Amino acid sequence: MRPAHPLEQAVGIEHYVSDTDGVGGRLRASDADFRVRELERFSTESLEATTDAYPHLVVRATLSGWDTNDFVSRLSDALGMSRRRVSWAGTKDKRAITTQLFSIYGAEPADLPEIRGVDLEIVGRAGRALEFGDLAGNAFELAVSDADRPENAPAITDELRAFADADGDQIGVPNFFGQQRFGSRRPITHEVGLEIVRGDWEGAVMAYLGGPTASEPEETQAARAFVEETRDWQAALERFPRGLGYERSLLHGLAESGEGSAPTQETFRAALERLPDNLQKLFVHAAQSYAFNLILGERLERGLPFDRPVEGDVVCFADRQAPEGLALPDVGREQRVSERRLRSVTRHCERGRAFVTAPLVGTETDVAAGEPGEIERDVLARLDLEPGDFDLPDDHHSSGTRRAILVTTELETEADPLSLAFSLPKGSYATVVMREYLKVDPIDLG
């Protein structure tokens, strides 16, 4: 197998599954080169529905150059309401043209503002706010700029079709967590999470503050090196650039609480908990994602299939309510694969009715049996983790779940310029498909 880029290896993605040289180039040369449309499954009523029973106005927004969170802040400010009254099913990137649903509690169509780079379509009313589960997946239309070898795309497609043992226009790739999960330029969120899970709050804080990387400005590298060497929180504050707000928040907390005494593990935990709740959750999730990527890499190394189970695997079944043409796993419906069941479950996988899974480890994780279970236990031992370690305070706690190890999709390609269109279930990364085609530095994948 072809080795992955070093930045990808740092987050547990060890290989490509296609051996053909990549087409090169980059994604997101412009917003229009990266188009994302939500695959919705959210029911609405007409605008004439009563607002007492259906208080949420639902709109479909097409955003150009807007991060979802920034757009919500701009929208709620224009409406003169708390941003907590605006809900959505999935967060999208800024450098793209994205189409997604939003629900707005207590808003009327006439209230909607005009915002540059935003097109709002009124959909109807709903009795509840949008939630993450209301997103089935995303459809992508992606253009590759400055491709060096666009003629290699068909051969890569053939290899990805063979990997998934698929027919027609369908391809498959390992369902890795992409680079964005860990930080594209400074992939350290999983390192912070691993220290949290191990109970080393000091190690978690220092993983976030220290570890200078060549991709950062020299001033930032020097500040990180200084805090690693000296642990002088107040002096480090004077060196960290103003733009590194989260790092400065940690340093403020340590400087304020550490006066006159050496900081304790509780001091470091309190400093880390100054960060936004969603970022704190991301740390532990990234640690789970890193372990998941390593499990998939070991399965590749051992030559075990991804499209069908072996004895000991845990499979989940397809979501019966998924939009037509989208292979959406339902991890709430699991089954262990015994020798007796292997043949029948294999048929379900071949027909797209079941999916082999691996764990996102948490307190309730029960590892697989047989060789898959051996892989899962080996990776956890390598990371010095066990399920009980995820019994953590507050937002850091995780009970765990499972995730399909293969993602498949129907692929459409155009040659001039090279562009690819496909759909993925929620939680899967378009860049995990595109990395097989470009084989470039992950930064060029956006």
Q: Where are the domains of the chain?
A: 2-27+144-175+408-445, 33-137, 189-275, 279-404
CA distance 89 to 68: 10
Task: Give the model's pLDDT for residue 127.
Answer: 97
Which helix or strand (DSSP H or E) is residue 415 part of? strand 412-415
Q: Would the pLDDT of 260 be above 70?
A: no
Pair 399, 363: CB distance under 8 Å? yes
Token pair in block for residue 347: 């048929």
Can you name the residues that pair with 401 across neighbouring β-strands? 360
CB proximity list for 197: less than 8 A, separation 6 or greater: 284, 287, 385, 389, 390, 392, 396
Furthest-apart CA pair in the chain: how many Å? 69
Q: Would the pLDDT of 382 be above 80?
A: yes
Q: What is the mean pLDDT of residues 26-55?
A: 94
The one catalytic residue among 33, 52, 70, 93 = 93
Q: Would the pLDDT of 259 be above 80?
A: no
Give the number of other CB atoms < 10 A from CB of residue 276. 11
Q: What is the mean pLDDT of residues 279-289?
A: 92
Backbone angles phi, psi at 45, to 5 degrees: -105, 170
Q: Would the pLDDT of 258 be above 70?
A: no
CA 370 to chain centre: 29
Beta strands in 127-270, from DSSP E residues, in sequence order? 135-143, 170-174
Q: What is the mean pLDDT of residues 282-306?
A: 97
Ranges 15-19, 270-274, 394-398, most confident: 15-19
Q: What is the mean pLDDT of residues 385-410?
A: 92
CB proximity list for 249: less than 8 A, separation 6 or greater: 274, 275
Residue pLDDT, tens place only, 329-352? 999 899 999 999 999 999 999 999
CA distance 182 to 199: 20
Residue pLDDT, tens place only, 315-324? 999 998 888 8
User: Average pLDDT over the chain, rounded to whole?
Assistant: 94
Q: Would the pLDDT of 326 be above 90?
A: no
CA distance 207 to 279: 14
Residue pLDDT, tens place only, 149-167? 999 999 999 999 999 998 8
Cα distances from 301 to residues 34, 130, 297, 310, in angstroms, run 32, 41, 6, 15
Task: Give the model's pLDDT for residue 251.
Answer: 95
Q: What is the mean pLDDT of residues 131-137?
A: 89
High-pLDDT (> 70) share of the chain, %: 99
Distance in angstroms between the alpha carbons of the first and the last residue of the chain: 24
Instruction: Provide the residue type at 152 as one letter.
Output: N
Which position has the token pair 């992606």? 142
CATH class of the domain comprising 279-404: alpha beta
High-pLDDT (> 90) share of the chain, %: 85
Q: Would the pLDDT of 199 be above 80?
A: yes
Tell me the three state secondary structure of residue 212: coil
Residue pLDDT, tens place only, 168-191? 889 999 999 999 899 878 899 999
Beta strands in 11-117, from DSSP E residues, in sequence order? 15-16, 34-40, 56-64, 86-88, 97-105
User: With a threshold of 0.85, does the pTM exceed it?
Assistant: yes
Task: Give the model's pLDDT for residue 279.
Answer: 84
Q: Pairing mode, if any, of strands 34-40 and 97-105? A: parallel
Can you name the residues that pair with 59 across neighbouring β-strands? 102, 122
CATH architecture assignment, domain 189-275: Orthogonal Bundle (1.10)
Q: What is the mean pLDDT of residues 104-120?
A: 96
Q: What is the mean pLDDT of residues 116-141?
A: 95
CA distance 205 to 248: 12
What is the CATH code for 33-137?
Answer: 3.30.70.3160
Question: Is 33 designated active site?
Answer: no
Residue pLDDT, tens place only, 61-111? 999 999 898 999 999 999 999 999 999 998 888 899 999 999 999 999 999
Token pair in block for residue 204: 């978690």
Residue pLDDT, tens place only, 200-235? 999 999 999 999 988 899 999 999 999 999 999 999
Torsion over CA: 396, 187, 175, 358 (sign): negative
Q: Pairing mode, if any, of strands 86-88 and 401-404? A: unpaired
Task: Give the model's pLDDT for residue 430.
Answer: 96
Give the number of other CB atoms < 10 A from CB of residue 437. 29
Q: Would the pLDDT of 419 be above 90?
A: yes
Instruction: Provide the residue type at 333 as one letter.
Output: R
Task: Give the model's pLDDT for residue 158.
Answer: 97
Cα distances from 155 to residues 2, 25, 165, 166, 436, in angstroms, run 15, 17, 15, 15, 11
Token pair in block for residue 96: 């793209």
